[in-house]
Amino acid sequence: MAVIPSCKSHKRSAKRKAKTEQTSPRHATSETSQDKAIQAKYAAMMNVNEKDITNLNLYRFVDQWEGTPYKYGGTTPNGVDCSGFVCALYSDVYHKPIPRTTSEIEGSTKNISRSGLKEGDIVIFDINGKKNAHVGVYLLNGHFVHASSSKGVIVSELSNPYYNKAFNRGGRF
């Protein structure tokens, strides 16, 4: 597992804990007012139509984990690193076990170009000259979700100069 510079742990806030406890079950399939709010939130964030947010299990998962603090080696909502987050997402949303480290994930996926990325694909980054140092999951319209070493679990844009420069490749299982 690669170490990302400036990694630091954060205490989970009471607000984050309350949000997690109030969230509907991850595998619910009926659309609720909470689901409509999640669709609206992520559609606005990614500048897409609410109708484009079709994989509600994915966006429920992202919403539940958003704000989880970064913790090197972490795999839980109390603290998670980038590959731990991706493993948890794939297990919960896609019911697929995947390798634990970014390098193993990279080696287990089919190479996908940036222009060929689809929702649920892996995005892999080389950080500060270190190959396969960071991993996330592609969402829509140039956005991906990941566990940032400085901000915890967040949605970011591939066009951000930092991620644009560091982008290595996409991957698909």
123 Cβ contact list (under 8 Å, min separation 6): 117, 135, 136, 137, 138, 144, 146, 158, 167, 170, 171
Q: What is the pLDDT of residue 114?
A: 97
pLDDT > 90 in the chain, percent = 82
Residue 82 appears among annotated catalytic residues: yes
Residues 6+ apart with CB under 8 A from 55: 93, 119, 120
Let me know if 95 is a catalytic residue.
Answer: no
Candidate list 10, 27, 134, 143, residue with the active-site label: 134
pTM above 0.75, yes or no: yes
Q: How many residues does the chain have?
A: 173
Does the active-site annotation cover 143? no
pLDDT of residue 31: 75
Whether the CB-CB separation of 93 and 54 falls below 8 Å is answered with no
Classify residue 157 as left (phi > 0), alpha (psi -120 to 50) or beta: beta
Spans of the chain, pLDDT less than 50: 1-28
φ and ψ of 36, to 5 deg: -65, -35
The predicted-structure confidence for 117-126, as pLDDT tens digits, reads as follows: 999 999 999 9
**21: helix, strand or coil:** helix
Query: Looking at 7, 10, 27, 82, which residue is catalytic?
Result: 82
